[in-house]
Structure 1
């Protein structure tokens, strides 16, 4: 509660005094002005609390001088506090003069036993804080000059100060000199601290400005990179579409050529080469178009009801010849008991996933290797689970996180390594996630790789993905 009251009091006075940072004012000057305002906010309530018992005690002990001095001092502080038209610099001068006069009035009335030394010490430190080292030193020198005049008057008995009648001039001089020395030491220490804090603040501001500039540059670079990536994606999508169209014409013509020169084996071989390579190029273009749609969020689902075992058997059979040519043993362990198992999913994307993973396994499995596809049903989760194991080259540990990145190839620096487009696994991962599952990879470099994934058997229609 006290914290809330103090906060409300502080905010009220800032608003009442109309304190704000002036145009062109540096940080140190603003800090000093803010500090002085904070001192006024703090010293008025503390001064009032201190004044009341002091005034009462002075009246009881019949010391009217102390009462009048304290009353004038607290009145001036209240005047400075409530006067919102006087400039801060003028307030600083009046504030300093008030405490200066108060301290020497106590010296002349009470003597060396008074708290004047402490008041002067505090005054010089405060002046150094809110006005700078020069003002603090000047205040200390002014105090030293007044001390000197008092000591001179006592020594030559110019004025009759009753409080110093029983004091030796040596004692008075030592007390006065020590007070000034301690004050100067405090002034220089505080000014040194303030200067270093100011330098640190300037350095921090400079670093913040540099950080802001770097942040703006990063944002611009990010926007430029995003724009470039969007242009790249759009270009790839357009190019793949433009190339696919004439490729259909080439493949169509190649199919027609099969009916000519049926007895010419060399002619048939050339047509087969055109057809095979054209189909490979068409598949690459299809993959590029798919990854472009995935990255732009335009890829959608086309859910139908189909026999999943028929699709698995068809895809597995289509790779038998290729595996046999490479002398790779290809095994299917289908544990889906119902041979007529129907599921609701996107047949095209499911087919693409199995094809890409099978192609990847055959490509990176050396002659004499073994590839096993396991399929089963998880009744509890209504999902189909797949595990594709191969005895291929495997993936290094440090590449496991990057293997699914678009256009990423594990051994791109090796000229003798097998390289593809680098998007098959990216498409597979994206399609599996659209089909309600996750694609996981387990691999040991030089030993083989396992791809594990699942798909929902009853997939519901979803809206197009967004970035």
Structure 2
């Protein structure tokens, strides 16, 4: 609280004295002027507090000269602090001169028993703080001149100084030289400290400017990215409509063509080629659009409560004929009881994930078994397993297989290749549903893809963490 009042006091004085309006200084000179204001105000407060007990002691000991010196010094300090007619430079000079004279006179009157020497050392340090090394060295010269005059007067006994009658000239000379060396050391030490602080302040200001510039660049990049995302969103919406619409027209016409020349097998074969390749192209376009939407953050979850067993049965029955057509054994091991099967999640995305993984398993399996398994892990997650006896995947491809457009063994002309989209979309959907996906595979033997989904999702709050 005291610090708060002190800061308010300084701010009031800056406004009162017009400091910020008088000079447009920057850097170290401005810092020194602010420091002088703090020193001036603190000296005034401490001076006023110490004046009254000092005056009482001076009167009680019949040292009227000390009372006069203290009174004049406090009045000059009062004028220096609150006068609006003097310049800031004059205020510094008047403050320094006042304390110099106070220190010298107290030293002459009270000798080493008083606080004149301490005030003098303190003053030289303060002058170095708010005026720099040159100001401090000038104060040292004044100090040396005062000591020289004092020693000259003492040696020739021009003015009698009772406070020093028990000392000899040699002792006073040694003390004077030591004091001079001490204040010189103080001036250089303090000025060095101030310069180092100033350099640190300059570096900090430079770093702040660089951070401001970088922040500005980041904001510009962010604005460009946001604008780019808007353009990308518009492009995706247009592409989805403009490309899918004519493709639906082509496929529709292909269906109509099948009604003509039904006896011409070659004609029907060509129509089937158009229809098959058209559907394949439409799937590719839909996949690319879906991946782009996922990367742009445009895909949302549609959370509802449903029986996931119905989704599993639907996908299983839809793909079973395709597996049997290749001579594969397609089995379902569903351990989800009725109570466990009711979940809060996205029904369409779960169907897409299962369909994508099972279609891959059927595609890359020439003979053997494909198995779909489901189980409840705990109150929060259920797990799905898609196992096949297909080509298998080398361990080096385990991480990259989920990358967009990535194809395993793309250089093998005899290998089966997909579009590299289905697993990317499936992985993104799984993570949107609060789960994770992984695989185990041995090349030439088969693969097992397994994934989890969270069963208690809330609408508009798809989990991002892994299970």
TM range (shorter): 0.7 to 0.9
Task: Map 1:346-365 onto structure 2 (within 5 A).
Answer: 348-362=348-362
How many pairs align?
450
After superposing the two structures, state which structure 1 stretch, 29-38 or 229-238, moved more.
229-238
Correspondence for 1:243: 243
Whether contact under 8 Å (1:412, 1:419) holds in the other structure is yes
Aligned equivalents of 1:39 and 1:398: distance in 2? 70
Correspondence for 2:163: 163
Q: CA shift at 1:99, angstroms?
A: 1.0
Correspondence for 1:408: 404
Q: CA shift at 1:206, angstroms?
A: 1.0
Calculate the TM-score normalised by the size of structure 2: 0.81
Whether contact under 8 Å (2:129, 2:194) holds in the other structure is yes
Counterpart selection for 1:442 from 435, 438, 444:
438
Counterpart selection for 2:387 from 385, 390, 393:
390
Aligned equivalents of 1:285 and 1:372: distance in 2? 30
Q: CA shift at 1:264, angstroms?
A: 4.6
Task: Map 1:167-182 onto structure 2 (within 5 A).
Answer: 167-182=167-182
**3-state SS of paired residue (1:389):** strand
Whether contact under 8 Å (1:103, 1:117) holds in the other structure is yes
**3-state SS of paired residue (1:155):** helix
Correspondence for 2:80: 80
Whether contact under 8 Å (1:388, 1:451) holds in the other structure is yes
CA shift digits 1:309-364 (9 cap, x unpaired):
565334223333554577765322234566xx99998765554343233334445x
Correspondence for 1:277: 277
Q: CA shift at 1:425, angstroms?
A: 4.7
Correspondence for 2:465: none
Q: 1:88 to 1:315 in 2, by over 3 A?
A: same
Correspondence for 2:91: 91
After superposing the two structures, state which structure 1 stretch, 197-206 or 79-88, moved more.
79-88
Whether contact under 8 Å (1:394, 1:448) holds in the other structure is no
Whether contact under 8 Å (1:51, 1:70) holds in the other structure is yes
Whether contact under 8 Å (1:393, 1:448) holds in the other structure is no
Correspondence for 1:233: 233
Aligned equivalents of 2:139 and 2:398: distance in 1? 69
CA shift digits 1:237-276 (9 cap, x unpaired):
3123211111112212222333344455444443323222
CA shift digits 1:123-158 (9 cap, x unpaired):
111111111111110011111012111212222333
CA shift digits 1:70-116 (9 cap, x unpaired):
12222222222222443322111111101110111122212244332
Correspondence for 1:107: 107
Correspondence for 1:424: 422
Correspondence for 2:40: 40
Q: CA shift at 1:408, angstroms?
A: 2.8
Q: CA shift at 1:281, angstroms?
A: 1.5
Aligned equivalents of 2:344 and 2:135: distance in 1? 86
**RMSD, aligned CA:** 3.9
**3-state SS of paired residue (1:107):** helix
Calculate the TM-score normalised by the size of structure 1: 0.81
Question: Does 1:146 pair with 2:146?
Answer: yes
Q: 1:308 to 1:50 in 2, by over 3 A?
A: closer
Aligned equivalents of 2:161 and 2:342: distance in 1? 114
